[in-house]
Structure 1
Amino acid sequence: MRTLVIGDIHGCYDELRLLLDKFNPDKSDRIFSVGDVINRGPESYKCISLLKELNVVTIMGNHEHWYLKCYPFEDNTVTSFNFRRLEIEDHIEWIRSLPYFIMADDFIIVHAGFDPVIAFKDNTYDMLVSVRTLEHTGSPWFDGYFGSKHIYFGHWAKLGLFFGKNVTNLDTGCVYGGTLSGYIIEENRLIQIPAKKTYHNIYDETL
C-alpha cells in the first residue's frame, strides 16, 4: 500500500490527471488531497469529478469552506469558481461532506495548519483552513509544533515546497504557473507536474 498526498489543485485538471497517471494507483493505495480543489483554475468541476471517481479523501480547503458560506446566494461566487449553476448542484453535497482534517496513526493532513499552543480539537474551522502565521507570535504556525505526527498541509503557495521538522507544505502554486505536487509517504518520493500555463496571478492572492 502506498499513500499519496496531493497539494492545492485549484481547478488544474490537466495537471491533476497527469500526476495521477504518473502515480498509477492500484486498489490498495490511498490518495489524499489537502483541499482547495476549486477556484482560480479552469476546470474545478472536472477536478471534483475525478477525485470522486477515484475515492480520493479530500480535506476542506479555505476555498471550499468560504464557498459554502456564500452558496447559493452569491452568483458572482459561482461565476468566479468557473461553475455553471447546474454543475455545482451535482457536487455541493460532496463539498459539504469534506472533513477539516484527517488524523492517522503517524500523520495529520490539514489544509492550512493549526495553532499548536492549544489542543488540536480546540482550533476553529477558520484556523484550520486559513492560518499561515500566528497572530500572537508573528511566526509561521509550524514553528511551535513539536508533535510526533507528521503534518502535511497546503494553502501557502508563496512558501512553496517545504520540508520542515515533521511538517511538509505541498502547495507549489500550480494555478500560478508553478507545479502540482504529490508526495508518496512510504517511498519518500515527490511527483511534480509543471503547470501548462499561468491561470492566475499570485500577487492577486487574497485567500
Structure 2
Amino acid sequence: MATYAIGDLQGCFTEFQRLIDLIRFDPMQDRLWLVGDIVNRGPDSLSLLRYIKQAGDAILMVLGNHDLHLLTVAAREAKNLSNDTIQPILDAPDREELLHWLRHQKLFHSEGQYAMVHAGLLPSWSISQAEQLAREVECALQQDNAQELLSRMYGDEPNYWQDEWADYLRLRVIVNAMTRMRVCTSEGKMNFTYKGNLQSVPSGYFPWFNVPNRVSQNTTIICGHWSALGLHITDNIIALDTGCVWGGQLTAIRLEDRRVFQLSCVQ
C-alpha cells in the first residue's frame, strides 16, 4: 500500500490517466491525495470529476479556488469567465450529483505527519485550529442554503485573520487563505495579486510557508496553487503545482519515501 499526492489537475484528464499508469496506482490498495483545483482551464474537467467521485475512498481531495468557482457559477452567484472550461459539467445529466459530491469534499486534511491544503495556512494557525476553521467552511458548504456562503465568498477583504471575525467575513478569510494565498506578511496580511516566483516576492512579504515562527511548521504540508513556484520540497513543505494546464508537468510524490514522478503535459 502506498499514498501518492498529485498536484493541480485542472481538467487535464489524459495526463492524469498517464500519471496514475506511471505510478501503477492500484485503487484496491493505494491512496491518492489531490491538492485541489480538479477542474477548469483544462480540456476535460467532466471526465476527471466523474473518475474521482467514482473512486470512493481511494482518492482524497481538498477543494481549490477553481473547484469553489465551479460551485459558485453553478449557484448563479458568479459568471463563467472567458477562459473557464466548466460548461460541460454544468450541462451534464449528472450535474447535480457531481456538484453535491463536490460540496461535500474537504477544505483541509490532516493525517499523521502530513496535512494537505490547496494554497496555504496563515502563520498563526496551528494544524488543529486549521482543521476546526476548515470544518466551519465545509459545514456551510454542505447546508441546503450553501448559496448564501457562495454569494458572499468572493472578496479580498479582510486580508488578515482575527479570532473575533464572525459570519461570512470569517468564512471568507478562511477560504482565501486556504485556496488563494501565496504570500503574506509576518503578521499574516495576505497579498492576493502576487503570482510570481520566489525570487520576486514583494518587499515585506514572505512565501506563506517561510514566515518566521509559523505555528504549523512541525507538520509537513502538501499544497498546490502556485504554479510559478513549481515543485518545491523541503522538510516540511511539499508544493506540487507544476503547471500541467499551462504545458508544464504533472507531478506526483509517494509519501512513504518521497519519490517524485513527473510527466510532461501538452498545453
TM-score by length of 1: 0.87
Instruction: Compare CA radii of gyration and give the structure with the larger one.
Output: 2
Change (3 A) 1:35 1:185: same
Determine helix, strand or coil for the equivalent of 2:20.
Answer: helix
Give the aligned partner of residue 95 of structure 1. Answer: 102
Determine helix, strand or coil for the equivalent of 1:186.
Answer: coil
Task: Give 5+ residue unaligned stretches, structure 1.
Answer: 199-207
Give the aligned partner of residue 71 of structure 1. Answer: 74
TM-score by length of 2: 0.68
Distance in 1 separating the partners of 2:36 and 2:105:
9
Instruction: Give CA deviations for 1:17-62 in whole Å, capped at 9, x if unaligned.
Output: 0011112223221111000010000000011112123231111001
Moved more, 102-111 or 50-59: 50-59
Contact 1:70 1:77 in 2 (8 A): no
Contact 2:2 2:31 in 1 (8 A): yes
Contact 1:113 1:153 in 2 (8 A): yes
Moved more, 71-80 or 45-54: 71-80
Distance in 1 separating the partners of 2:86 and 2:175:
25
Contact 2:73 2:80 in 1 (8 A): no
Give the aligned partner of residue 115 of structure 2. Answer: 108
Output aligned runs, 1:185-204, within 5 Å.
185-195=255-265, 197-198=266-267
Determine helix, strand or coil for the equivalent of 1:168.
Answer: strand
Moved more, 86-95 or 114-123: 114-123
> Which one-letter code corresponds to 1:72 in the other structure?
A
What RMSD over aligned residues (CA atoms) do the two structures have, in Å?
A: 2.0
Give the aligned partner of residue 129 of structure 1. Answer: 179
Instruction: Give CA deviations for 1:71-106 in whole Å, capped at 9, x if unaligned.
Output: 232563598233333323341112111100110111
> Which one-letter code corresponds to 1:63 in the other structure?
H
Determine helix, strand or coil for the equivalent of 2:52.
Answer: helix
Q: 1:166 aligns with which of 228, 236, 247?
A: 236
Change (3 A) 1:65 1:92: same
Distance in 1 separating the partners of 2:5 and 2:125:
26
Output aligned runs, 1:169-184, within 5 Å.
169-184=239-254
Moved more, 145-154 or 119-128: 119-128
> Which one-letter code corresponds to 2:40 in the other structure?
N
Q: Give percent identity, aligned residues only.
A: 30
Contact 1:163 1:169 in 2 (8 A): yes
- The size of the alignment, in residue pairs, is 197
> Which one-letter code corresponds to 1:76 in the other structure?
N
Cα distance, 1:116 vs. partner? 1.9
Moved more, 21-30 or 174-183: 21-30
Determine helix, strand or coil for the equivalent of 1:52.
Answer: helix
